[in-house]
């Protein structure tokens, strides 16, 4: 049997994005990869998927990027020369923007071409600003949505979901605040990963996964008019 082609995944490194939004999901996803499984338990490696990761700069060059925490991060491509992506992950930046038009144009292009787009936390606000969430259900960081809504600055064309950890609408997977992205990534992996590989990932990472409905933070948006 021919080996499966590598799945290409982009991570959009917007200025000052939340570090855990990105590394939570991509470390979980990459830990289900053939390469990682081969380190952990080689007999299962043939059942695992290979991922190719592209870290995408929006600044026009490969200058290292500061997240909210952690070391400087080296992008591998820019929005101008990013290879074709199967999936795009957008970790959350400062939700007030403004987001440059070239960044929004890149998001619109990838949203049309890619299989799925995943956002964590305020990442969905960039997707919303690009217009691709209009008429769709989406989660975002509830605290940030409340603050934007108080000033009427949230995108009203989006059907914001206030009581879930994450939601899927069409090809768009959007999660609520920071750590909800890990729950969403685990759900995303379910139908893309061999069950034995998924169990290995669960056992090795000791992750405690919450469902979309187990949302102890839904009260943050009680009474907020959206």
Ligand X SMILES: *[C@@H]1O[C@H](CO)[C@@H](O)[C@H](O)[C@H]1NC(C)=O
For position 6 contacting ligand X by CB under 6 A, the verdict is: no
The one segment of 32-40, 118-126, 160-168, 173-181 that binds ligand X by CB under 6 A: 32-40
The one segment of 28-36, 143-151, 178-186, 199-207 that binds ligand X by CB under 6 A: 28-36
Question: Could you tell me how many residues of this chain bind ligand X (CB under 6 A)?
Answer: 6
Q: Annotate the chain with DSSP letters as a single string.
A: -PPPPPEEEEEEE-TT--HHHHHHHHHHHHTTBHHHHHHH-GGGGGGSBPEEEEEEESSSS---B--SSSS-B--SEETTTPPP-SEEEE----TT-PPPHHHHHHHHHHHHHSSEEEE-TTHHHHHHHTTTTTTSEE---HHHHHHHHHTT-S-TTSEE-SS-SEEEETTEEEE-STTHHHHHHHHHHHTTS-HHHHHHHHHHHT--PPPTT--TTGGGGTT---
* 82 is annotated as an active-site residue: no
Residues 48-87 that bind ligand X (CB under 6 A): 53
The one segment of 30-38, 57-65, 121-129, 207-215 that binds ligand X by CB under 6 A: 30-38
For position 106 contacting ligand X by CB under 6 A, the verdict is: no
Considering the candidates 16, 77, 121, 139, report the single residue annotated as catalytic. Answer: 121
Catalytic residues: 121
* Interface residues toward ligand X, by CB under 6 A: 30, 33, 35-36, 39, 53
């Amino acid at each position: 049997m021919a080996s499966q082609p590598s799945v290409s995944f982009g991570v959009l490194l917007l200025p000052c994005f939340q570090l855990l939004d990105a590394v939570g999901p991509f470390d979980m996803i990459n830990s289900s990869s053939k390469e990682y499984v081969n380190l952990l338990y080689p007999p299962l490696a043939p059942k695992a998927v290979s991922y190719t990761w592209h870290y995408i700069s929006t600044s026009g060059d490969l200058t290292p990027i500061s997240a909210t925490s952690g070391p400087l991060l080296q992008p591998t491509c820019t929005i101008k020369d990013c290879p074709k992506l199967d999936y795009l992950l957008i970790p959350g930046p400062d939700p007030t923007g403004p987001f440059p038009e070239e960044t929004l144009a890149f998001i619109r292009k990838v949203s049309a071409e890619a299989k799925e787009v995943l956002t964590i936390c305020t990442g969905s606000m960039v997707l919303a600003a690009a217009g691709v969430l209009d008429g769709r259900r989406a989660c975002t960081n509830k605290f940030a949505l409340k603050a934007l809504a108080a000033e009427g600055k949230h995108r009203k064309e989006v059907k914001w979901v206030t009581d879930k950890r994450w939601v899927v609408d069409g090809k768009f997977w959007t999660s609520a605040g920071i750590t909800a992205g890990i729950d969403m990534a685990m759900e995303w992996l379910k139908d893309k990963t061999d069950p034995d590989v998924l169990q290995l990932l669960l056992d090795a990472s000791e992750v405690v996964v919450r469902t979309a409905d187990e949302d102890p933070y839904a009260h943050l948006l009680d009474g907020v008019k959206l």
